[in-house]
Amino acid sequence: MESFEKLGLFYLGKLFNPDTQQVTPEYLLYDARDLVTHAVCVGMTGSGKTGLCIGLLEEAAIDQIPAIVIDPKGDLGNLLLNFPNLDPADLIKWVKPDEAERHGLTVEQFAAKQAELWRQGLGDWGQTPERIARLGQSAEFAIYTPGSMSGVPVSLLKSFSPPSTQVLADPDLLRERILTTTSSLLGLVRIDADPLRSREHILISNILEQAWLTGRTLDLPQLIQLIQAPPLSRIGVFDLDSFYPASARVELAMLLNNLLASPGFEAWMEGEPLEVDRFLYTESGKPRVSIFSIAHLSDPERMFFVTLLLNQVLGWMRTQPGTTSLRALLYMDEVFGFLPPVASPPSKRVFLTLLKQARAFGLGLVLATQNPVDLDYKGLSNTGTWFIGRLQTERDKDRLLEGLTSATAGTGSSLDSSRISDLLSRLGKRVFLMHNVHARGPELFQTRWTLSYLAGPLTRDQIKELTKSRDVPERQPGSTPAIVPPLPQSALAVSSAPAVGVPSGPPFVPEVNQFFLPADSGTGIYTPFFFAAARISLLDNRYGVAYSEDVAHVYPIVQKAVSAFLWDDAQSLPPGSEERFSQVPPPGGSFASLPAGCAHNLKAANLGRTYRDFLARIYSVRLWRSQIFKVVSQPNESERDFRIRLAQLSRERRDFELDRLRQRYASQFETLSRQEESARLEIRRQEHQYGEQKLQTAISVGAGLLGALFSRSGLGTIGRATTAARGATRISRERQDIERANAKLQQVQQRRAALEERLRQEADRLAASFDPHMETLQEIQIRPKKADILVKAAGLLWIQKA
């Protein structure tokens, strides 16, 4: 490994000397934890801003930190262009033919030249093709294209899912979520709605609030229907029709319906749902870098998408435990218009909330822009790191210094404006000033060569080619909360045998509890099912498990089930289904006949006993145990989610142990630094003495020559020659002193290198000991005793089939 490969540190480039305008050998290594306090990158076109940010995302991926990347220009799909073989054949699809033509080369020749340039650039920065391979092995990369089928499509309008329970429990967060969702949706149909004055905004906000508080998930067609016939009679003190007449509501519904019916809009209805957890990790728990390319969208569509995505990120963030280590990154390139200093678009509210609160959850934001006036600097007061590249005008520099001063005012860090102004005036391409509140002072550096091939903005065809050649993330069955029917369709199908008779009311069965579930349409024949519901409680002190779950099952009552009834073939009900049941017979309902002889099985005592036996036999909770971390998964926590949790736990322990390790070595490094500085001072002193002695000897030699020419006596000449000889001897001794001083410096540097190597080896051992992906987890099954099962209800369930 090269010396820049240090645990928890990002290799962003090398320090740059502003006086000599040269790159120094010293690496700029950025602590990953500093990104928890967010970062801003500012630089004009051609400054190297995109290369810096891609390099930062590469380092995060190598450190197995997932990222959500919002790409308005189409540049960041270059992260998928990593070819460890550096083969010209790999680049042919990605070089520009017109650029090859300008160089007087064929595409093949230009690709070969680019491959050689790339290989040389990596080598100049100490990187090898193996590091490119490591990048691809550490994380999965995917390009998502909302509103387009060129990449992995994203379904934005299929559902307006309720936010997390944490958001629902916080009135301020819920209000903010409703406001931004409504504003972005209305913006999509070119309605610039004031949340306090727009009746469109107020109506849709009330519909969303009622749906979400009752746990209902809406799609756009359902929302359009609810706008025409809202599930509320009053808004404020006014009745609905006085506040928003039906005819006006139809106009709004038609406007949204036209959006839904417009050509090409079906792309918004298909693809991956907005589930942040699935964008950050694969099904196996591998970190994912999800790039959302939105270059093809209109401005209202971009605002709509970005706001919805940020809301989902905020909701996901609220479900995570607190941490001081970096958990994930949210990066947006060209944030122009989304966090402006004056206006308040829907995205601005969510950005400000994330900037204020994400630190506590380990979510780091990185925002990039070309123009300093694009940013609300007051909103960036919690930003800890600023990467500043070449700016276009002096006005831009002054505006940036003003904003940087404002942003750092509350951090307690000092800011030397005059020095920073001087450094900014001399920035070249790929040279950036880093102001990090966690560091001693600003540092100038040149960005390293990226591991990914920078082909520039990708076209839709190129994105399609990348998506085709890569493994597209697949949805797993059941991974998305679905709107399920009251009962599985298979259970209903079993009971479809023709009824013997159709009585107009439920048959009377002595000592049997009866429950009723009408269809949404309110029509159809009621068919009979065995039904039971129970609560299972598990308590296991060995593994720290205290867990309970409500379960319910149904079994169709057919003739063959009367004498030999087993719950093994029963169908489970979705959680909470029994809450929809009524114990009051519906008036005028038509009921199928019960098979003869089933009354005995329908008694609650018999159903409860057999149901308890069934659950004790088949029910279990599977847990996973980590020997490395000595922790056990939670009930219903999948192996994937447990490994993701272990990965974060690993990072936290790694950071803690690294701090201890660095503190243990800190005094030794300080001693070596003092010795190195002393050795350098001694070299400079000896070099100064050597220079003076050379000068004195030269003067003596010159005087001797003049004396030999003009003196009549040879005695003076002999004396001066003797003095010159002594001077030559002293020169030799001074040269030896310099050599000894240099040898001492080399010895100190060798001891420092040996100490750094020991530190690296210990850090590597730490990394290996905290790698949850390499661990084979122990599987544990916990089963309930019969005493742990409480049967809450049992009897006959009548289900109306529509």
CA distance readout (Å), 370 to 43, 302, 344 = 5, 18, 20
Which residue type occupies 448? R
pLDDT at 382 over 50: yes
**Cα 568 from Cα 617, distance rounded (Å):** 10
* Of the candidates 73, 85, 145, 159, the residue with the CA atom closest to the CA atom of residue 119: 85
**Cα 771 from Cα 651, distance rounded (Å):** 9
Q: Which residue has the higher pLDDT, 398 or 487?
A: 398
Split at pLDDT 50, 70, 90, the class of 70 is: very high
Q: Which residue has the higher pLDDT, 560 or 162?
A: 162
CA dihedral 196, 199, 201, 203 (to 10 degrees): 120
**Cα 726 from Cα 166, distance rounded (Å):** 86
What is 1-83+140-154+287-471's CATH topology? Rossmann fold (3.40.50)
Split at pLDDT 50, 70, 90, the class of 232 is: confident
CATH for 639-771, options being 1.10.287, 3.30.70, 1.25.40, 1.20.120: 1.10.287
Q: What is the pLDDT of residue 706?
A: 57
Which residue type occupies 433? L
- Residue 134 neighbours by CB under 8 Å, 6+ apart: 62
Neighbours of 592 (CB within 10 A): 21
**Cα 161 from Cα 216, distance rounded (Å):** 8
What's the rounded mean pLDDT across residues 244-269? Answer: 86
Q: What is the pLDDT of residue 669?
A: 77
**Cα 692 from Cα 589, distance rounded (Å):** 115
What tokens were used for 631? 């922790």
pLDDT digits (tens, 9 = 90+) for 428-444: 999 999 999 888 888 99
pLDDT at 720 over 60: no
pLDDT at 247 over 80: yes
For residue 69, list its beta bridge partners.
291, 331
Q: What is the pLDDT of residue 534?
A: 94
**What's the gap between Cα 405 and its chain centre?**
29
pLDDT digits (tens, 9 = 90+) for 628-650: 888 999 888 888 999 999 989 88
pLDDT digits (tens, 9 = 90+) for 523-554: 778 888 989 999 999 988 888 888 999 999 99
**What's the gap between Cα 501 and its chain centre?**
60
Q: Which residue has the higher pLDDT, 755 or 70?
A: 70
pLDDT digits (tens, 9 = 90+) for 8-50: 899 999 999 998 999 999 999 999 999 999 999 999 999 999 9
Kindly tell me the sign of the dihedral angle through the C-alpha atoms of 102, 105, 109, 112: negative
* Of the candidates 148, 708, 112, 801, the residue with the CA atom closest to the CA atom of residue 496: 801
**Cα 699 from Cα 692, distance rounded (Å):** 11
Specify the range with the lowest mean pLDDT, choosing from 344-358, 430-444, 697-711: 697-711
Specify the range with the lowest mean pLDDT, choosing from 471-475, 482-486, 588-592, 667-671: 482-486
Q: What is the pLDDT of residue 707?
A: 61
Split at pLDDT 50, 70, 90, the class of 237 is: confident
Split at pLDDT 50, 70, 90, the class of 272 is: confident
- Residue 538 neighbours by CB under 8 Å, 6+ apart: 545, 546, 547, 548, 621, 635, 782, 784, 788
What tokens were used for 638? 């999948």
Specify the range with the lowest mean pLDDT, choosing from 287-301, 582-596, 709-723: 709-723
Q: Is 636 left (phi over 0), alpha (psi -120 to 50) or beta?
A: left
pLDDT digits (tens, 9 = 90+) for 184-228: 888 888 887 888 889 999 999 999 998 888 888 888 888 999 999
CA distance readout (Å), 556 to 482, 487, 606 = 24, 11, 16
**Cα 707 from Cα 709, distance rounded (Å):** 5
Is residue 141 within 8 A of residue 289, CB to CB? The reply is yes
What angle is formed at CA 535 by the lines to CA 531 and CA 541, rounded to 5 degrees?
Answer: 150
**Cα 646 from Cα 659, distance rounded (Å):** 20
CATH 3.40.50.300 domain extents, the chain: 1-83+140-154+287-471
Is residue 58 within 8 A of residue 329, CB to CB? The reply is no
- The alpha-carbon radius of gyration of the chain (Å, integer) is 36
**Cα 585 from Cα 515, distance rounded (Å):** 8
Q: What is the pLDDT of residue 711?
A: 56
pTM of the model: 0.78
Q: What is the pLDDT of residue 174?
A: 86
* Residue 43 three-state SS: coil
Q: What is the pLDDT of residue 491?
A: 38
Residue 387 phi/psi, 5-degree rounding, is: -105, 115
- Residue 641 neighbours by CB under 8 Å, 6+ apart: 285, 633
CA distance readout (Å), 747 to 115, 492, 685, 743 = 40, 83, 19, 6
Is residue 4 packed enough to be buried (19+ CB in 10 Å), middle (13-18) or exposed (0-12)? buried
Instruction: Give start and end residues of each alpha helix (H) in 24-72.
Output: 49-62
> What b/e sequence results for 235-270 when a residue is b if at least 16 CB atoms lie within 10 Å of its CB, and e otherwise?
beeeebeebbeeeebeebbebbbebbeeeeeebbee
pLDDT at 123 over 80: yes
Is residue 400 within 8 A of residue 41, CB to CB? The reply is no
- Residue 710 neighbours by CB under 8 Å, 6+ apart: none
Q: What is the pLDDT of residue 784?
A: 92
Mean pLDDT of the chain: 84
Residue-by-residue DSSP string for 369-386: ES-GGGS-TTTTTT--EE
- Residue 694 neighbours by CB under 8 Å, 6+ apart: 731
Split at pLDDT 50, 70, 90, the class of 502 is: low
Is residue 767 within 8 A of residue 654, CB to CB? The reply is yes
**Cα 213 from Cα 162, distance rounded (Å):** 8
pLDDT at 735 over 90: no
What's the rounded mean pLDDT across residues 611-618? Answer: 92
Instruction: Give start and end residues of each alpha helix (H) in 439-504.
Output: 460-469, 489-494
Residue-by-residue DSSP string for 278-309: HHHB-TT--BEEEEEE-TTS-HHHHHHHHHHH
Query: What percent of the chain has pLDDT above 90?
Result: 41
Specify the range with the lowest mean pLDDT, choosing from 61-70, 317-326, 489-498, 570-579: 489-498
What's the rounded mean pLDDT across residues 553-557? Answer: 88
**Cα 546 from Cα 243, distance rounded (Å):** 51
Q: What is the pLDDT of residue 727?
A: 59
Q: What is the pLDDT of residue 160?
A: 79
* Residue 230 three-state SS: coil
CATH 1.10.287 domain extents, the chain: 639-771
What's the rounded mean pLDDT across residues 364-389? Answer: 89
Instruction: Indicate the angle between helix axes 220-228 and 246-261, nearest 10 degrees.
Output: 160
